[in-house]
Amino acid sequence: MGRIFNFSAGPAALPLEVLEQAQAEMLDWNGRGASVMEISHRSKAFIKVAEQAEADVRELLGVPQDYAVLFLQGGATQQFALLPMNLAGADQAVDYVVTGQWSKKAASEAKILRRTNVVADGAAGNYTAVPERAGWKLTPGAAYVHYCPNETIGGLEFHTVPDVGDVPLVADMSSTIMSRPVDVKRFGVIYAGAQKNIGPAGLVLMIIRRDLLERVADTVPNILRYAAQAKEGSMLNTPATYSWYVAGLVFAWLKRRGGLAAMAEINSRKAGKLYRAIDESGYYSNPVERASRSWMNVPFTLPRPELDAAFLAEAEKAGLAELKGHRSVGGMRASIYNAMPEAGVDALIQFMADFARRNG
Ligand SMILES: *Cc1c(COP(=O)(O)O)cnc(C)c1O
């Protein structure tokens, strides 16, 4: 069987060139007679991999020097718990914007630890639009404002960075990081699980303003402190070395493709043509208001749910895989991260038109 077009939401497709390089280097990395995952994380050779990955993140995203770049574990979900522990005092409030399932989960973890205020909630509109900034009721003295710029399940995306004044803005960018340039200075913390748009699962990229590292209380165990990870180059204990290495290959691939401005152009074009195909079909539909639609995750439904099984089976036969929507939403979801070639989106659009014609 050849390679499929893989629309999985995560773990998601990786660029073919990256997989080929990892394959070629698997048994004998850099003439060492061993793979990169079989050597010490403290060896000179691995430190070089780690440092190059950080340098490439800094270059791709334009990360200023007063931000630390961390390579952590525990997934984005673990950060839902660690962020309030590291950034907020025991009696301090934290603000959360809820726009879908991931930001809701983040808020419910914070609630266990700190006084958590949901300052805007898109529930009334079934999370189909980004709540207007003017309506957010920020808490005076809050430690930070947390939001999720791209809701992977609902397919809802912020296309501008909300202005929250001097309060640090904390962003779960798991499913949108590196899809376009961002102005890092606008954020206190950016974090992302790697398995959507960066590399294999097991790794979390975090970009954190250094002054925020000082906030942590001494009641927080060392292993859970971002400051301790920053001090030790993210090697307080053994990091996810192989995921880190593959992420490095992805960063190099992004640089070869022209960086994030070039990716933004491709991503906006890919998403634009897929939404257009949905809207103009009179057959498929997507409930998200146009200005809030995600470039990365495109959910859509067929006219009748009874058609779903046939759609999925035929799509799979056509080499278009992992299109089943999230179990909480139903229907379909096409995740079209950086690694999804435009040809994959074109093939999906053509298949959808053909399926609609045959099952209208
Ligand atoms: C996938 C995802 C998560 C969860 O990531 P884990 O690595 O499974 O913890 C959190 N937030 C967003 C936006 C996601 O897409």
Mutate which of 105, 108, 175 for ligand 1 pocket (most atoms within 8 A of beta carbon) = 175
Q: Is the pLDDT of residue 161 over 90?
A: yes
CA separation for the pair 285, 275 (Å, rounded): 9
pLDDT, averaged across the chain: 97
Q: Residue 81 has what pLDDT?
A: 98
Q: Residue 328 has what pLDDT?
A: 84
CA separation for the pair 167, 186 (Å, rounded): 10
172 is catalytic: yes
Nearest protein Cα to ligand 1, atom 14: 174
253 is catalytic: no
Question: Which residue do the tokens 């080929």 mark?
Answer: 20
Instruction: Quickly count: other Cβ atoms within 10 Å of residue 337's Cβ.
Output: 28
In ligand 1, the atom with minimum distance to the C-alpha of 77 is 9
Check if the beta carbon of residue 37 is closer than 8 Å to that of residue 240.
Answer: no
Q: What average pLDDT score do residues 14-19 get?
A: 98
Q: One of 196, 244, 253, 324 is an active-site residue; which one? A: 196
CA separation for the pair 148, 158 (Å, rounded): 8
Tokens of 170: 């904390």
CA of 247 to the centre of ligand 1 (A): 17
Q: Which residues line ligand 1 (CB under 6 A)?
A: 10, 75-77, 102, 148, 152, 172, 174-175, 193, 196
pLDDT-derived band at 360 (thresholds 50, 70, 90) equals confident
Q: Is the pLDDT of residue 74 over 90?
A: yes
CA separation for the pair 337, 143 (Å, rounded): 32
Q: Residue 329 has what pLDDT?
A: 84
CA atoms in the 13 A half-sphere facing the CB of 348: 31
Tokens of 261: 């401005």
Q: Is the pLDDT of residue 1 over 70?
A: no
Domains of the chain, start order = 18-256 (3.40.640.10), 258-359 (3.90.1150.10)
Q: One of 102, 244, 253, 295 is an active-site residue; which one? A: 102
User: Pairing mode, if any, of strands 204-209 and 67-72?
Assistant: antiparallel
In ligand 1, the atom with minimum distance to the C-alpha of 152 is 15
Check if the beta carbon of residue 236 is closer than 8 Å to that of residue 104.
Answer: no
Q: Residue 257 has what pLDDT?
A: 97
Check if the beta carbon of residue 190 is closer than 8 Å to that of residue 206.
Answer: yes
Query: Which one, of 134, 67, 125, lies nearest residue 99 by Cα?
Result: 125
User: Pairing mode, if any, of strands 189-193 and 204-209?
Assistant: antiparallel
Sign of CA dihedral 19, 21, 24, 27: negative
111 is catalytic: no
CA separation for the pair 354, 360 (Å, rounded): 10
Q: What is the enclosing helix (H) or strand (E) of 170?
A: strand 169-172
In ligand 1, the atom with minimum distance to the C-alpha of 150 is 13
